[in-house]
Amino acid sequence: MSDKWIESVMSISAVGCIPDSVIFNGTEVLGYPRFVSATMRGLDRLNTVYGDIEFQDQAGRRQIARALDYKTVRVHSITRAEVDRGLSVATMRDRYVRAARERNIRVLYARPIMKPIDERSLPELNKAFVSDLASAITDQGFSLGPAVPFGQPDPGLTLMLLVVLGIAAGSVMLLDAIWDLSFSICVGLVAVFAAGFAALWGMGYPLLTRQAAALAAAIVFPSLAGFVLFSPNASAKQKEASSGAGWVGSAWRKFIVASLLSFAGGLMLAACLTSRAFMVKGEQFLGVKAMHVVPALFLLAAYWKRYARSGDESLIASLARLNRSKVLVWHLVVLALLGVAGLIYIARTGNTSSVIVAVPRLEQKMRVALERVLPARPRTKEFLVGHPAFVLASALIAVGETGLILPISILGLIGQISLTNTFAHIHTPVGLTIVRVLIGLGLGFAIGLVVTPVYRGIAARIRRAAGRER
């Protein structure tokens, strides 16, 4: 392989007609690794768009995307093995439409159906497939034709600095929640944070600046939600919450405030990633696993300030006191279970993972059902785990039943982390993301209202069986 060979291949490919877009087969782009530059020159000379295949990380794709200033289009394809497995026309159609609507896919690479799947002949099947797909795509408001790269959104340094100021203010709020900083120190820290980001941008690292600011937003605002959860109620509201179903008001207030913080963090995160590089996934949001772990550490700090701290003792003194405590067998069992659950949770996060955790079949069926009845499917860990747990934790704090509040609160924080993280999927239209988040919040709060009295009833029976009061 040589530069001349690649140039000849590109020239032969263009004989008769110049293709609108080029998609490379296999695990690497043409010319990788030594002659990618020749491939890029050929694409530029032909004025042809490079098609980047979704879910297939071809070696050399990032080099081409960067050289083309990310003027690429994303491609969705159903593999030959999947097509031959007998997927129905409706299933393939829905998958392609979902890719275009939810993930900004602009090229649909449709393989022909080569095996019968019903009584229709193969020509009839393929004709029906193409016709159904074209109709479904246009029904969603798209038009058929050559794929065109996205324009370059340019909010400019001034607007980015305003977003960074918001993230810096949130960061200082988080530090103040732990150490009770003075106003002058808070103002100084905001200025230092903002100046640091501006300097990094000015030094010629706008991409790194965006990624760092986005990661800060993803960590800070869900962490603030944890402090909202453990914030004390006003005395009048505490008395009201401890009687009957008064916990609903307390849970509602904390859930709304915490969710607004996480929502604001998500919008700031999305603002940081508003660039064609992220919209076509030429570059990615960094630190996904960190944003799922670090807020839990801040939640532990909030728990320590509210429940574990004795008087004004320092964190070191509290740890020393904990070190002198007795450790029972059930403590170790609970820690082991939490550790396994944590590993599974972390393994299912991130842009890439060395550990593959399959989605359970029941969850897959539930996802399909939700996609059919809702305008946007909420994330499972938000509406089915995180948000109900947050409501439950808020209610238990309101009524003073805090025996298992820490593990339940950690589950509740998952929903807030996921809420903010949803906005990191910048290739998904922001409007659709907002709808998905709002549906998740509504369903999650409703489920929490059902789960809370059930949990409290079971806990009360266990206490009575053990012969002790709350």
**pLDDT tens digit sequence for 1-12:** 677 777 777 766
If one counts every other C-beta atom within 10 angstroms of the C-beta of residue 162, the result is 13
C-alpha to C-alpha distance for 435 and 377, rounded to whole angstroms: 9
Q: What is the pLDDT of residues 380-411, one digit of tens each?
A: 999 999 999 999 999 999 999 888 899 999 99
Q: What is the pLDDT of residues 237-249, one digit of tens each?
A: 555 555 556 899 9
Question: SS3 letters for 95-107?
Answer: HHHHHHHHHCCCE
| Averaged pLDDT for residues 15-35 | 82
Q: What is the pLDDT of residues 208-256, one digit of tens each?
A: 999 999 999 999 999 999 999 999 875 445 555 555 568 999 999 999 9
Q: What is the pLDDT of residues 30-57, one digit of tens each?
A: 888 888 888 888 888 888 889 999 988 8
The tokens of 205 are what? 């690292």
The per-residue DSSP string of 161-201 comes to HHHHHHHHHHHHHHHHHHH---HHHHHHHHHHHHHHHHHHH
* Predicted local confidence at residue 53, as pLDDT: 92
C-alpha to C-alpha distance for 336 and 411, rounded to whole angstroms: 16
* Predicted local confidence at residue 470, as pLDDT: 47
Q: What is the pLDDT of residues 339-377, one digit of tens each?
A: 887 787 777 676 555 555 566 778 778 887 888 898 889
Instruction: Please give the share of the chain, as a percent, with pLDDT higher than 90.
Output: 45
Predicted structure pTM score: 0.86
Among candidate residues 278, 225, 222, the one with its CA nearest the CA of residue 421: 222
| Averaged pLDDT for residues 18-31 | 85
C-alpha to C-alpha distance for 265 and 275, rounded to whole angstroms: 18
| Averaged pLDDT for residues 174-180 | 91
